[in-house]
Amino acid sequence: MTPLPITHATLTTALGAGLSAHLEALGDQRCGLTACSFDDVDLPGWIGRAAGLEDVTLPAALREYDCRNNRLAWLALQQDGFVQAVQAARTRWGAHRVAVLLGTSTSGILETERAYAHRDEAGALPAAFRYEKTHSTASLARFVAEALALTGPSWVVSTACSSSAKVFGDAARLIDAGWIDAAIVGGVDSLCLTTLYGFHSLQLFTADICRPWDAQRMGVSLGEGAAFSLLQREPAAGQAPLARLLGVGESSDAHHMSSPHPEGELAAAAMRQALAGAGLAPEQIDYINLHGTGTPSNDAAEDRAVQSVFGRELPCSSTKGATGHTLGAAGGVEAVISMLALRHGLMPGGLNVRERDPTLGVNYLQANRQQPVRHVLTNSFGFGGSNASLVLGKE
């Protein structure tokens, strides 16, 4: 594929708001996870909660979209001069030539959960509840497009944990087809009762903190996050991109509703496709940001998949021990973390490992490694075997 400049990016997670906050937290190997305390949830476990969402106030013109998910989107958009960068792109290309392509899994479902808790005696939902503007998955893209005054193609991908990685591929295809000149890509997912209790019912949300690649890993620590990247057909004169999107790989296992294929065969196929699109050999990748959820089956399957493509020497790690698993936002969040790795030569060590699993063979970093990084591959693998791999580079 033709390399696409990523001219601007931002993110907000439990580690903080904006690129600098994340670079500092990753550099310090700081964990953003805290003991589960959210609404009236009574579950043991750890969560990655974004600070300050209760205090976010949307502009009056966007107030109908008010929900935790869109507040998180709004908070992220205000960081790193991202709104101003989009305004410049809108002026340059035209509002109708800039797409909004985002991923989410639960969107604003918390708003519906709260509405159900306040039904009247006849079972009717509160009159103020606005499903279309809050809970609906489409509301995220509508909200962002309206907030940024964009009128180009707009949609939301919801393929569980691969959602906000797959939209990078959507943007590349639309630009290549000549339908658009730029795109806002990424994703947003916020905490809600459905995911906390749902993952608990699957025995995936456990009392122990998320420990990717640990011998005693037991499950995920759920988090929330928002990430946005601005892809453009070409950068403005004199503008140095943060990174370039070099390759995209996508595949579908169709193996099980909630478990990956144990051998990771089609996860490996997504990685190979991303490499082929980038025109790179496996040995040209410097670091892999793993999907690495900390569940026994996911880490084992991904370990096998990575070994089958890259062998055992390539440095890799999961950053979910720091942010929690941000579900539909994970692909976008970890793409931006991968851009930080490229820009600052930082391979972040995976957190919370007490005893490395001796049955897993990849070169899993437990401490930060500082060295030049030219190419990064980042994996996002969702429920049902929806796999996406991205290759990002400097050139």
Whole-structure pTM value: 0.97
Q: Which residues are catalytic?
A: 161, 291, 325
Token pair 């903190």 is found at 209
Q: What phi and psi values does residue 233 have, to the nearest 5 degrees?
A: -55, -40
pLDDT over 90 at 264, yes or no: no
% of the chain residues with pLDDT over 90: 88
pLDDT of residue 335: 98
What is the model's pLDDT at position 173?
Answer: 98
**Which long-range contacts does 254-262 make (Cβ < 8 Å, 24+ apart)?**
254/384, 254/385, 255/385, 256/384, 256/385, 257/383, 257/384, 258/202, 258/204, 258/383, 258/384, 259/297, 260/297, 260/298, 260/301, 260/302, 260/381, 260/385, 261/301, 261/385, 262/297, 262/300, 262/301, 262/304
Provide the residue ranges of all domains of the chain, joining segments of one domain with +: 4-393
Output the pLDDT for position 265.
86
Q: Given the DSSP bridges, would you call strands 4-13 and 225-232 parallel, antiparallel or unpaired?
A: antiparallel
Instruction: Give me the CATH topology for the region 4-393.
Output: Peroxisomal Thiolase; Chain A, domain 1 (3.40.47)
Cα–Cα distance between 329 and 12 in angstroms, integer? Answer: 10
Res 258 pLDDT > 90: no
- For the chain, helix, strand, coil in percent to 5 are 35, 25, 40
Going by pLDDT thresholds of 50, 70 and 90, the confidence category of residue 238 is confident
What tens digit of pLDDT does each residue of 156-208 get?
Answer: 999 999 999 999 999 999 999 999 999 999 999 999 999 999 999 988 898 99
Predicted local confidence at residue 382, as pLDDT: 82
Give the number of other CB atoms < 10 A from CB of residue 184.
28
Report the pLDDT averaged over residues 320-346.
Answer: 98
- Please report which confidence band the pLDDT of residue 90 belongs to, taking 50, 70 and 90 as the band edges: very high
